[in-house]
Structures are given as structure tokens and as C-alpha cells.
Structure 1
Amino acid sequence: MEHLVLHEDVRSGNCYKIRLAAAHAGVALERRGYDILRGETRTPAFLASVNPNGRIPVLQIGDTFLPESNAACFYLGKGTDLVPEDRLGEADMLRWMFWEQYSHEPNVATLRFWRRYVGEDQLTEQQRALLPVKFAGGAAALALMDEHLATRDFFGGSSLSLADLVLYPYTHVAEQGGFDLDGTPNLRAWIGRVASHPRHVGMDA
């Protein structure tokens, strides 16, 4: 595999997904940090050389730059036991990865960022108006996950897969966004299962 560089902000769950997938896949990453609150991903140099969209994470594969966290995770996990071998199993794993970006991350991650790093008193009027909408969407996503886990240990298959690794980062810190996980015991148990894996690395790693 070519030399891999992760362009990241260590506080980001989307960046953590890639570190987690790499650890499980046994792949080494060079890490380059940026502070999104200081606008370091909006500089002319970053836009010209890393990602014209001005966002991280970006996984650099040799001279190629691959944005979008779940695409990077799929690149790292393909060919390992993180991706089911059968066609339907792989599709079900991808289903959860798409769902994470559409229904989970925009709500759970956004509230964490607004409340932990921006501060509610610094939010725009439009952002404050969205707080109850984001909370309702995030609570519904977490409840759906808890219901799914009532009869199985993992997402997207009978063993840990990329689906679990992309859902874990923002779920395990959901309380930082104001969500209460006490009412989702299956979800709490799943968080423990993911964290107890021998190749697991923490968010600060």
C-alpha cells in the first residue's frame, strides 16, 4: 500500500473514523493536523493542494487526495474482515455507512460541535433555531440504533465491520451534544463491545 497521510483535526469524529479503521486494518498513517476553528482548511495553500472543498478529513494516498470520511474508511477496510465477503453483507454494511452520513452525523455531530466547541451563545440565530430540529433528529437516530441492537451485537453483519467503526465515533460522545444514552442500554453495550476490541484506539490517539 502506498504511503498514507491523514489530513485531520483531532477533535473531529469524522477524522477519528479513519484512524480507527486504519488501526483495525493494521495500516500505518502519517497524521497532519489542522485547526478548523482557526480556518486552517480554508487557506489558499490547503484549497489548492489538499481539498478545494476546504474540508477534512482527507486521506492522501501517495499523490492522490481522497476526501469524505466513509470513502476513506472503505478504502482502508476493503480486503479485510471489516468488509463482509458476501455481496449482500457488503451492501448492508454500506447501507449503514450511508445512513450514518445522512441521518446520524448531521444531527449528533453537529450538536456536539456547536455545544462543545462553538458555544450556544456564539451560534447564529439560524443555528439556534435549528437546535430542537437537530436534537429530534439525533435522538431518533440513536433510538433506531438501540432498537436494531436489541437482537444483534453489531451493525451490518454478525461481526464488527466498517459500519460499526463509522457509527462509533460520534455515538460514544453523543452526550457532549446533549443526548442522554441512559435510555439506550443496547447502544451502551455496543459502545463497550467496540471499545473492547484488541485493535481499538481512543479518540485522542
Structure 2
Amino acid sequence: MRLFDMPDSGNCYKVRLMLALLGRRFERIVIDPDAGETRTAEFLALNPYGKVPVLEVSPGEFLPESNAILCHLAEGTPYLPAAGMDRARVMQWLFWEQYSHEPNIAVARHWLKHLELDEARRAELAVRQEKGRAALEALERRLTEADWLAAGRFTTADVALFAYTHVAPEGGIGLNPFPAVRAWIARVEDVPGFVPLSA
């Protein structure tokens, strides 16, 4: 397998983390979106949306979208329940992550780390940070009542949410008000096979 990857992207990191947890070997191809490398004709042939990550799962077969990749990789493993409500609960968190969590926490982080903020973007940043805190409050409520997000065990839901949650402070969204989230982050980091974002 080949992974088209941006090292600082949480969406790419969650795929690298899942591959590591599964012990799967892969070739890593680093792409720089800021340099226009996701807008070339060659890359758009792999993913017409022009985004990373993209996993070449077999020669000539390319799968974009981080959570779709997670589900593909985890199929048939304990990281993705086979059927029923446990699987539905995992999917619930995966969908929520891309709609309510990532667009706020990840975007705030990207803007602060990689862009110069004009007045309009600075105002929008405050909105994203507020929504990011609301997302962390939802996680806190869940993790106050359970060690893991779904199915009573560590799953792809935890992988997906960990990727940007643990770096939320880089987007100006502190974790101090969220003790259950901080404890969960420590549990994820103790899972056998765990690799950090910088790996």
C-alpha cells in the first residue's frame, strides 16, 4: 500500500496510526498542499477532491477520505465492530468528527500554525474556537461515563477523534477544562502499537 500523506495533518495521522496499530507496512509519499501538490493533474487523478490522505489499497485503486480509509483498514478487526448498534455507534462518532469536531478544531489549528490572520479570519477563528470547545464538551460528557467512545473498547472512533483532539491547544483550544478527555488521551497513547503524530 502507498499513503499520500501530509505529516502535520491529523486526517493523515489517523491513517498512519491505524496502519501502525494493525502492523501494516506501507510506503509513505509526502505531499505539500501549500505548494499546490494536491492540485496537479496527476494528484487529481488519484483524488478529484484534491485532498490528502489518499491510500492506494492495491495497484491503481485509490481510496480518499480519512474515515473511509479507517473503516476499510479496520474491517474484520476488533477496531470496527462487525454489525449492529456497536458498529452504528462507531459510525456515529466518525460522522460527528468530520461534521462538528474537525472543521473547528483542525481549522483553528491550521490557521494558527500555517497562515497569517487578517481581520476577517481572526474573527472567524474565534467562532471556530468556540465551536471547538463545544465539541470538546461533548467528548467530555461521553468520556466521563465511559473509557472509550463506542462499543466498550478502543475502536476507529477513538483513532479518528484522537488525531485532532490531542493537538487542540495548537489551535488555541486548551484541554485543561476537560479532565476526562485528558485521561482518554493518555489511554490512547498507552494502546499497544501507538505511534505519535511526529513519527
TM-score, normalised by the number of residues in structure 1? 0.93
**Residue type at the aligned position of 1:149:** L
For 2:163 and 2:70, locate their aligned partners in 1 and report how far apart those are by CA, in whole Å.
13
**Residue type at the aligned position of 1:16:** Y
Task: State the Cα deviation string for residues 68-127 of structure 1 (Å, max 9, x = none).
Answer: 000000000010010123411000000000000000000000000000122xxx235543
For 1:157 and 1:174, locate their aligned partners in 2 and report how far apart those are by CA, in whole Å.
25
**Residue type at the aligned position of 1:65:** F
Match of 1:36 among 33, 38, 41: 33
Partner of 1:128: 122
For 2:119 and 2:67, locate their aligned partners in 1 and report how far apart those are by CA, in whole Å.
31
Query: Is 1:47 the counterpart of 2:41 in the alignment?
Result: no
Task: State the Cα deviation string for residues 124-159 of structure 1 (Å, max 9, x = none).
Answer: 554333112111110000011011111110011211
Aligned-residue Cα RMSD (Å) equals 1.2
Task: State the Cα deviation string for residues 34-78 of structure 1 (Å, max 9, x = none).
Answer: 111111111222223x21221111111111111100000000001
Structural mapping, 1:133-148, within 5 Å: 133-148=127-142
SS at match of 2:144: coil
For 2:147 and 2:83, locate their aligned partners in 1 and report how far apart those are by CA, in whole Å.
19
SS at match of 2:69: helix
SS at match of 1:181: coil
**Residue type at the aligned position of 2:198:** D
Structural mapping, 1:10-89, within 5 Å: 10-48=7-45, 50-62=46-58, 63-89=60-86
Match of 1:110 among 107, 112, 118: 107
Shift in Å at residue 199 of structure 1? 0.9
SS at match of 1:32: strand
Residues 112 and 174 in structure 1, CA contact (< 8 A), matched pair in contact too: yes
Partner of 1:199: 193
In the comparison of the two structures, how many residue pairs are matched?
A: 198
Residues 9 and 35 in structure 1, CA contact (< 8 A), matched pair in contact too: yes
Match of 1:169 among 163, 167, 170: 163
Alignment gaps of 5+ in structure 1: none
For 1:161 and 1:151, locate their aligned partners in 2 and report how far apart those are by CA, in whole Å.
17
